[in-house]
Structure 1
Amino acid sequence: MSDPNSQDRQDSRLSQKLCDSGQLFRDRYEVVRVLGRGGFGVTHLARDRMLPGSPLCVIKQLFPKVSHPIALERAKQRFRREARILGRLGSHSQLPMLLDYFTFQGEFFLVQEYIHGDTLSREVRKGGAQKEPVVKKFLAEVLPAVRYIHRNRVIHRDIKPPNIIRCRDDNRLVLLDFGAVRECLHHDDDPGDHAASPTTHFVGTMGFAPPEQLALRPTYSSDIYALGVTCLYLLSGKSPLEFDIDPETQELDWQRSVSISQSFERLLSKMLTTDLSARFKRIDEVQRALQLEEHYSNLERCLNRVPRAAEAANPEDVELEQNLSPIQRRAAAIRSLRQRQQQHSRGSSGQGPVFPL
């Protein structure tokens, strides 16, 4: 029986070798230090000595969780396919550019553009929870990147504050670490199981992934949910696992933890609902709602008329009005205004004025 820790020890030795050898990795990359470790691999900071100025880059060493030769070859094929997708997406200014990808000693490697800056999670740790205008600005800035990903028929699946970094050079937000490439690294060791596919494994982060993603059926709307949870983190400084959950609906109980306008609360509620039929379906819908949100309070004052005490309708009429749409309420208010003005005009001159609708 194989030692389950042997692979991890081998990975650690390779990672240490890359940092301490003093030699160029693949005769090109000078590994400077380890940036981070996780269950899927190790991320290194390196310099590309083949380019003028030896610019910094990021080398991601990914650990395949497969051992059978046929399964490993399938994982390599999926890795190449997903790496090509990353290469295509990297043309967007808010996504890191893929510089290279290859396999070496049974490991998978991605080389990406180095983004110098702080993640959103680090910003909150340093500066605390953020105010509503700042969070709205974040949402407006990050939505175009997610929209671009979806238009290329890719679901990110791991949107969260540690995967969004603010570039120190130009202050732009950059979205990191797609879940797609990590998906090809899971166990798939039965070469005779032709039905096995990457979708049989969960990819994402607990708390940021909605129920359908946990059920291995992610949609574009799943990324919208994760963006909503990211907004909650920015507003409250709390991880999604710190919020209570309604046991029947699985909805997060977040409204009492933030202080925001009613209109923004409605927008977030539509991003954060676990009901797929009620959640925003596309990024375009979120963008339109966000653009209208800043004018919504003014629109509400124009469209909704609260009657004075002397003019208040009977309780049945009030209840009926509350069930009307904003347009219907506006039409009712106009009709009521016309009736009062006509009555006033008849009382003074015997003839009521005409109002264009």
Structure 2
Amino acid sequence: MLGRVLGGRYRIIQHLGSGGFGQTFLAVDQQLPSQPLCVVKQLQPRTPNPFVLQTAKRLFDAEAEVLYRLGNRHEQIPQLFAHFEENQEFYLVQEFIEGTNLSEELIPGNPWTEDQVIELLKDILGVLAFVHSEQVIHRDIKPENLIRRKQNGKIALIDFGAVKEVVAQGTHLPGSTRQTIGIGTPGYMPSEQAAGKPKCSSDVYAVGIIGIQALTGLLPQQFPEDPITGELRWQSWAQASAGLIAILERLTRYHFSERYSSAQEALQAVEQLQQKNLAQSLPQSLSQTVLLPPSHSKAIAQSLSLQQHSLRRSELGWNFWVRFVIATYLGPTIGTILVFVSAVIFFLADKYLLSGFVFSRYKDNLQLIAALIAGPVMGLCVGVAEWLAMRRWISGIAWWIPASVFSSTLIGFAMALSAVGLWSKTILGALGGVTRWAVLREKAPRAKWLIPWFMLSSLIGPLRLYVIDLSIRSQSGPSLVVGILLPFLYTSLMVWILRRQ
């Protein structure tokens, strides 16, 4: 099939997938100057029966007409470029959407924040509301059929199940008993759809399952089910407001009559929850004196929600990179200066005010005294520098500064207590990493990787200018190179942690 030209213009360049209905290919349109990419779906009914072929062709044309109407009126649905028959095989040619599959973002064990889940639900329900308004039921809502466009980050809905429905219909021969065949994917398909009676609320159910999957970090197969009512029991794994949990519960009710009847109704509920969360987050005085128009309120909600999200790679560009690298150098540099000044002041105060009492009494514990001074001061300077570098991209992390003070103090003691074993130092470093993880955990699930990073730092010393200082004093070239590279490694870790997953 590769290299074959279909319809006189679409040259197949890659096989994308196959199933019971046929195959999907990536192709180029040779008749357009830029030769854009497109997706070609091939339908191959598995019977030579003329009636089956005629029925398949009729349904294929009808579905193609629906797809053409939808794709040309909504940016989150791929456009249909052509549909034709060639050698008794049917083809659909659709727009190729460049982006990432939602299944790649829904990583098991990495739950999303409530704000992220709300934005995801709004994005999916927005396009699904349009589909339902056109009297169309998608029938196969799942992460694999949702693609986040690289161009604008919007979720695009693909694969409207046309060819799957044709195959199901094509199995009914004249004179045979017609059986209803459920179309969909287990885990995302409610009971009435499995029985072959899908409704708009069936699509709504699938969206709810995706929302629960994002919120809990669990796969649909892992959701326990009530043996009596058939309702899903996932709430104990969710960290969210009662409002969001109530919406997800109604989206996924076992009986369709208890769900939202359409995507539009569900979308309104999600938007109302977002408005409520926004009102609670605004200062009380502002909410009492200013009445915002709905359009302004919605814009502010989107802005605040964007700030609370973990960030996409494109948002963490060179500007953030440079700022954070500077912070990793500048914070310890200022800290070193302040530690030196503090040590001088402490020495002078002890000499002239205390007649050398501290140095004479605790001369064997001077390292601990130095750690007691250096740890908090260094942590304060580093924490402030890193917070200043991050606050423009991710808000609500002022606790990063005391977390830095705490972790730096622990690591300072780990360095001072040279007799402390590796396990003790590792535990101290882990505690320091846990404090920073606690600040970012709701905004960036990958923040847990700060724990092993600070465990490592407690073993080999603070990972920044300390290595450079040691390398200069020991005149070790390799150590100097490592010391210079460590801030870049730390910055890479922070970019990976903060970017949207």
TM-score w.r.t. the length of structure 1 is 0.73
Counterpart in 1 of 2:449?
Answer: none
Determine which of 90, 101, 113 is the counterpart of 2:95: 113
1:147 aligns with 2:125: no
In structure 2, the CA distance between the partners of 1:278 and 1:127, relative to structure 1 (3 Å rule), is: closer
How do 1:26-41 residues align onto structure 2 when only pairs under 5 Å count?
A: 26-41=7-22
How do 1:78-89 residues align onto structure 2 when only pairs under 5 Å count?
A: 78-89=59-70
CA–CA separation in structure 1 for the residues paired with 2:140 and 2:91: 19
Bigger helix share: 2
1:237 aligns with 2:217: yes
Determine which of 70, 74, 78 is the counterpart of 2:55: 74
Determine which of 55, 75, 90 is the counterpart of 2:36: 55
1:96 aligns with 2:72: no
Aligned length: 279
Deviations 1:292-349 (A, max 9, x none): 213446989xxxxxxxxxxxxxxxxxxxxxxxxxxxxxxxxxxxxxxxxxxxxxxxxx
Deviations 1:172-231 (A, max 9, x none): 1100111244201134352235x84xx821111111111111111111111110100011
- Aligned residue identity for 2:240: I
Counterpart in 2 of 1:226?
Answer: 206
Aligned-pair CA distance for 1:244: 1.5
Counterpart in 2 of 1:288?
Answer: 268
SS in 1 for 2:256: coil
CA–CA separation in structure 1 for the residues paired with 2:109 and 2:33: 37
SS in 2 for 1:72: helix
Aligned-pair CA distance for 1:274: 1.0
Counterpart in 1 of 2:364?
Answer: none
In structure 2, the CA distance between the partners of 1:297 and 1:165, relative to structure 1 (3 Å rule), is: closer
Say which is worse superposed, 40-49 or 153-162, in terms of deviation: 40-49
Aligned-pair CA distance for 1:38: 2.4
In structure 2, the CA distance between the partners of 1:139 and 1:24, relative to structure 1 (3 Å rule), is: same
Counterpart in 2 of 1:252?
Answer: 232
Preserved CA contact (<8 Å) 1:156 1:180: no
In structure 2, the CA distance between the partners of 1:175 and 1:269, relative to structure 1 (3 Å rule), is: same
CA–CA separation in structure 2 for the residues paired with 1:23 and 1:205: 31
Counterpart in 1 of 2:483?
Answer: none
Aligned-pair CA distance for 1:90: 0.8
Determine which of 106, 112, 116 is the counterpart of 1:134: 116
Determine which of 173, 177, 184 is the counterpart of 1:190: 173
Unaligned runs of 5+ in 1: 1-17, 301-357
Counterpart in 1 of 2:454?
Answer: none
Aligned-pair CA distance for 1:276: 2.1
CA–CA separation in structure 1 for the residues paired with 2:4 and 2:160: 30
Aligned-pair CA distance for 1:151: 0.8
In structure 2, the CA distance between the partners of 1:116 and 1:211, relative to structure 1 (3 Å rule), is: same
Unaligned runs of 5+ in 2: 281-501
CA–CA separation in structure 1 for the residues paired with 2:15 and 2:217: 27
- Aligned residue identity for 2:57: K
CA–CA separation in structure 2 for the residues paired with 1:48 and 1:242: 43
- Aligned residue identity for 1:107: E
RMSD: 2.3
In structure 2, the CA distance between the partners of 1:273 and 1:254, relative to structure 1 (3 Å rule), is: same
In structure 2, the CA distance between the partners of 1:100 and 1:160, relative to structure 1 (3 Å rule), is: same
Aligned-pair CA distance for 1:54: 0.2
Deviations 1:235-270 (A, max 9, x none): 233221121111222211111222111110011111
Preserved CA contact (<8 Å) 1:47 1:56: yes
Counterpart in 2 of 1:334?
Answer: none
Identity across matched positions, percent: 39
1:174 aligns with 2:156: yes
Deviations 1:7-27 (A, max 9, x none): xxxxxxxxxxx21xx442332
Aligned-pair CA distance for 1:120: 0.5
Counterpart in 2 of 1:354?
Answer: none
Bigger strand share: 1
Q: Which has the larger radius of gyration?
A: 2
- Aligned residue identity for 2:220: P
SS in 1 for 2:261: coil
Counterpart in 2 of 1:122?
Answer: 104
Determine which of 22, 25, 35 is the counterpart of 2:6: 25
Preserved CA contact (<8 Å) 1:97 1:113: yes
Preserved CA contact (<8 Å) 1:143 1:287: yes
In structure 2, the CA distance between the partners of 1:172 and 1:127, relative to structure 1 (3 Å rule), is: farther
Counterpart in 2 of 1:273?
Answer: 253
Deviations 1:57-90 (A, max 9, x none): 0011123244321122111111111111111111
Say which is worse superposed, 42-51 or 182-191, in terms of deviation: 182-191
In structure 2, the CA distance between the partners of 1:103 and 1:50, relative to structure 1 (3 Å rule), is: same
CA–CA separation in structure 2 for the residues paired with 1:131 and 1:41: 39
CA–CA separation in structure 2 for the residues paired with 1:133 and 1:212: 31
In structure 2, the CA distance between the partners of 1:84 and 1:24, relative to structure 1 (3 Å rule), is: same
Aligned-pair CA distance for 1:275: 2.2
Aligned-pair CA distance for 1:41: 2.2
- Aligned residue identity for 1:204: G
Say which is worse superposed, 216-225 or 249-258, in terms of deviation: 249-258
Preserved CA contact (<8 Å) 1:66 1:189: no
SS in 2 for 1:277: helix
